[in-house]
Chain A
C-alpha cells in the first residue's frame, strides 16, 4: 500500500475536507445542552492557570494486581509482619529495592521494579497507599454490620474494573471518569474535533464521556485497503462513508455504522499526522506495555497537528490475576511495567514534557494478604497505586494497612484491606492538576464530597 508522496498529498486534502464535513456532524449530535455547557465552561477554565499542554496517562493492571507485593515494608517490624503472613511466597528482605518512607517506616519495591526505583530516586514517583473503591469512609465494624453503603459486587473482576474506570460504585455506569474529565476540559481543546481521549489497547469505559467520545488508535499506520489512487478509488471510499452514515432506523445498524465511520475519520486524520512524526531516541522495551506507551508517545507528538491542549490516554497490562504461582508470575509483569514506565518518563524528558505529562496506575483490586494453597492470592480490595512524572511531588501518601489478619483494616479474615483512601480522592487529585475546575470535580466524581479531602497533595502545584 505504498503511496507516492504527491498522491498522498492529494488524498490528504480530500481527507481534511471529509473530516471537517463529517466531524461537524458528530459535534452537532451533542445537542444544545452540550454546546451551552461549553460556553459556560470557557470562563471557569479561563480563571484557572491552564496555559500549556497537559496529558494524563492511565495504565490499568487487569486481573487485580497484588499491591502487598508492590510496596513492602523494609523496617524490622514492618517486614516481620509481612513475612509472618506471606511465609512461602514472601519476597526476601535483602532483595527489596528501597523506595520511600513514611516517618520511621520505610518501604521498598520488589526486585522486579528497578525502573520505578529510579523514578523514586529522581523524585518523579509517588505511591498512594491502600486506595480503592468506597462509597464513603468505612470501618471494619461498619462493614461487618452492614451499617454503611459499600460498592456493589466487591471482589468481582468485571464490576470492580467498571467501578475503577467510572468512579460509580453502585449501579450501572454509562461513562468513565476520564471521559467526564474530557467533557470538562473540552473548551481547552477548541476548535479541534480530534478525540482528546484515546485508548491504545481496546475499548474502555474509562474514556467514555457524557458529551465526548473516545477513540482507539493502536498503531501508527492503519489505512483503508484498496486506496491506490486509481480511477474510482476515492468514489468507492466516499460511498463507503455515505453508506455507514445512512439512517435506516435500526438501533444496532446505526450504532455500527456511526462507530465505524467515526473510526475512519479519526484514523485518516491521525495517519496524516503520523506521516510527519518527529523522531524519538529514547528506547522502549518491545513488550506489550512498552509498545502501547510508545504509541502514546506518538499520539502526544501529534498533539499540535491535531490541535489538542489536553489529552487523556488509556493503556493496559493483563495477567495480574495471580491465583497461582504468584512468585513467578507477578515479577515478570512488574518488570515489564517498571521498564515501560521508566522509558515513558525518559521519553517525556526528551520531548521536554516531563512536567506536563503524568502517568499513573489503576487496578480493579488488590489481593488477599494471606496466600492460598496454590502459592497464589485471591481477590481483595484496597491497594497501592503509583503516580509518575515531573509534576509529581515524590513520596508516600496515605496510610499503609496494619497487616493484621482480622484486624482493623481487614474486611474479612485474609487481609482484604478496606481502603483508607477512595478512588474519588485519587482521581480528583489527578483531575485538579489536569485543569478540571473545582466546580467540575463533583461532576467527574459524584461521591467526592463524602471524603475529607479532594486533593491528596501528590503534585508540586
Chain B
C-alpha cells in the first residue's frame, strides 16, 4: 500500500499515523491490520480513586488524561476510535455525570462492546446507571394518579430518536422515504415510556432491593416490579407489548422491536461512517454498510465488527482503485478537535503526558462533556458535523493550537524534538517536504508550497524556519480536513 493511503487509513481507523504504524500498515495491509486490531486486548480504564475523607468524589480530569494517553499510545487503537464514535451516538455527558465513578462504567461498556453486537450494546447502555440518570430511566415510576404523575418520557424518546430509529422512515440507503413519513408519534413515545418504569439502583452491601435505592454506579440497574407499568403498550406502529409482562420481559420485547426496525441499519451506519471516514457519505456507501449491519456474512444482525470492517474497507473510504484511490471533492471530514490534536502529535512522534483536555476543549470539543443529547456535533450540520463547532473563537484556537504544537508551547502535554527539523531548515524545500510527509500524506499543493517557502525564507533562525514550516503545513485547510 502507498504511503499516503496508509496514512489515510490510519486516520480513519486509529488516532493517527505515527511512523511505526505507517510502516506496519504498509507491510501487512488493511485486512491483516484490522484482524490484529479486532484481536487486540482492551486497554483497561482506571477505577475511581477512593473519595476524600470529606466525601468528595474524584472528578473527570484523570479519566480524560488517561483516555487521551491511551488514545495516543495504546495498541488497541481501533477500539478507541470506535468506542468514541459510539459515545458520540449513545451520549452520556459529564455535564450531568461528572464523577469518575459515574462515568467509567458507561465508558467501559462502549470499549467492551465496540466490536460486539448493537442489540447487546443497547441493552447494556439502557441499564447503565449513568445513562439512567442522564436520560431519567433511573427511578422512573409508573403513573401515580394520586400524585397526578405519569412515566418520564425522556429515555423512551431519545432511545428512538437518537440511538436507533430516528424521526423519519428511511430507505435502506439512509435517505428519508418520499414525503418524510414519521417513524412513530407522540403516543408511541408515551407508551414506550411505560416500558422503562420500575428500574432503580442495584442494592449494595447485602441490602434488600428497593425502589429509589442509593446510587450504585458500578452495576446495571435492577427492576422493582411494583413500580413497573404492566399495562399493554403500543410502542411503535404495528408493535404492541402485551399486558402483564415483568419489567425484564418488557425491556427485551421493546429492545427487540426497536433493534429490528428497518431504520436501525442505515441510521447507525450513517453515523459511524461520519465519525470514522466522511461527513457526507453517498447513499450507495450507506447502503453497502447498512446491508452488513442488517446481516453479516454469518447472517447476524447488528454485528459492529463486521460493520466497522465494511466502513473501513469500502472503496469510498479511499481504498479502491481508479476513482476511489482518492476521495472525491465532496468527501472527507473536518477533523474533530480531539482527532486534530492527537493526529498531529502522533504524526510528529511527539511525547505527551495526556494533559490536553482543556486545549482540545478550547478548539470546540470538551472531552466527555458533550453539550447535549445531540453530542458534540449534529449529524445533520452542513457542510459537515464538525463545522458546528468551528466558529471565530474555536478557529483561532485551532490555528493557535497548531502553532503551540509546532513550537513546544504546550509544556509536557506535547513535546516535539525540534532538533532534526532545525537541521532540515538549512534546506527550506526539504523542510517543507518533510513537514508535508508527516502531516499531509506527503502532498503539498504547489501554491501552498510557494507561499510557505516565502514565509520560511523570511525567518531569521533555523528554529523559526522549522516552526514556520510545521505551523503553516499543519494549519493549512488541506490538513484540517481529513480526506
Contact = CB atoms under 8 A, between A and B. Distances in A.
B147 interface: yes
B167 A156 contact: yes
Contact of A216 (B387, B393, B460, B481): B393
Contacts of B383: 251-252, 255
Given A87-B147, A243-B476, A260-B477, A373 B140 contact: yes
A264 B152 contact: no
Which of A215, A216, A253, A414 has the most chain B CB atoms inside 10 A of its CB?
A253
Interface string A92-130: 000000000000000000000000000000000000000
10 contacts: A87-B148, A217-B393, A218-B393, A238-B455, A239-B468, A239-B472, A263-B396, A321-B372, A323-B136, A323-B154
B459 interface: yes
A200 to B, nearest CB: 9
A260 B373 contact: no
Nearest to B448: A243
B330 interface: yes
- The 8 closest A-B CB pairs, nearest first, are A216-B391, A257-B477, A239-B455, A263-B392, A235-B458, A373-B141, A225-B400, A263-B395
Interface string A246-273: 1011111111110110111011000000
Given A224-B400, A374-B152, A250 B391 contact: no
A242 B140 CA distance: 57
Contact of A236 (B151, B371, B396, B472): B472
Contacts of A256: 334, 387, 390, 477, 480-481
Contacts of A217: 392-393
Contacts of B451: 239, 242-243, 246
A225 B142 contact: no
Interface residues of A, number: 70
B393 A252 contact: no
Contacts of A157: 372-374
B35 interface: no
Nearest to A219: B393
Nearest to A371: B149
Nearest to A215: B392
Given A218-B393, A267-B396, A318-B372, A373 B151 contact: yes
A239 B152 contact: no
A260 B153 contact: no
B409 interface: yes
Given A225-B399, A373-B142, 10 more contacts: A88-B149, A155-B189, A215-B392, A216-B393, A223-B396, A225-B400, A235-B454, A260-B399, A263-B391, A323-B136
A66 B167 CA distance: 23
A260 B395 contact: yes
B389 A232 contact: no
Contacts of B471: 226, 236, 240
Contact of A203 (B149, B180, B389, B396): B389
A259 B153 CA distance: 39
Given A243-B451, A244-B477, A225 B409 contact: yes
Interface string B151-166: 1111001000100000
A215 B139 contact: no
A217 to B, nearest CB: 6
B26 interface: no
Contacts of A447: none
Nearest to A378: B153
B295 interface: no
A152 interface: yes
Interface in B132-147: 135-136, 139-144, 147
A290 interface: no
Contacts of B464: 230, 232
A152 B180 contact: yes
B131 to A, nearest CB: 13
